[in-house]
């Protein structure tokens, strides 16, 4: 029988609060059995997702909250970062060639980083408002 636990945290949309989320996720991952390398990747991805929610979706309005939901099930950790924003639009990693040629502002690397560090990443705009970044990481043996 699979054991599943769910834990939630709310932080204000204020720079620096992403560190609270980062340490919260790290403590759960450590107790779950993730390696130090995976925990560092997880901390980076969660921090970046929270920063995106704080800055781009909640517009640094600390009356709006960023929610972090962790679900642990067997050898898998799912992290959802929720915000109150209007929409995240198309979320695509930047094209390196376009960045080098100066066609676009040097933005979007956070999404690239999140997708590179996690096993699975989904972005969703909720019908009732707000957005969710859903990240999944599996415990890797021999890491």
**pLDDT tens across the length of the chain (143 residues):** 456 799 999 999 999 999 999 999 999 999 999 999 999 999 999 999 999 999 988 999 989 999 999 999 988 999 999 999 876 654 555 566 766 677 666 666 788 899 999 999 999 988 888 999 999 999 986 65
pLDDT in tens, 100-122: 677 666 666 788 899 999 999 99
15 phi and psi angles, rounded to 5 deg = -55, 135
DSSP secondary structure of 6-33: EEEEEEESSTTTHHHHHHHHHHHHHHHT
Give the orientation angle of helix 36-52 with respect to helix 109-117, to 10 degrees: 150
Tell me the whole-structure pTM to 2 decimals: 0.85
What CATH fold (topology level) applies to the domain 4-138?
A: Heat Shock Protein 90 (3.30.565)
To the nearest 10°, the Cα dihedral for 138, 30, 84, 122? -10
Mean of all residue pLDDT scores within the chain: 87
What confidence score (pLDDT) does residue 1 get? Answer: 44
């Amino acid at each position: 029988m699979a054991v599943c636990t769910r834990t939630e945290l709310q932080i204000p949309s204020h720079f620096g609060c992403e560190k609270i989320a980062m340490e919260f996720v790290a403590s759960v991952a450590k107790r779950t059995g993730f390696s130090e390398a995976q925990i560092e990747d997880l901390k980076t991805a969660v921090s970046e997702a929270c920063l995106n929610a704080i800055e781009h979706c909640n517009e640094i309005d600390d009356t709006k909250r960023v929610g972090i939901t962790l679900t642990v099930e067997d050898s898998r950790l799912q992290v959802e970062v929720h915000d109150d924003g209007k929409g995240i639009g198309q979320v695509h990693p930047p094209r390196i060639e376009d960045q080098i040629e100066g066609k676009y502002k040097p933005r979007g690397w956070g999404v690239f980083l999140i997708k590179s560090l996690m096993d699975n990443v989904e972005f969703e705009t909720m019908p009732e408002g707000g957005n969710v970044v859903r990240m999944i990481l599996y415990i890797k043996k021999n890491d």
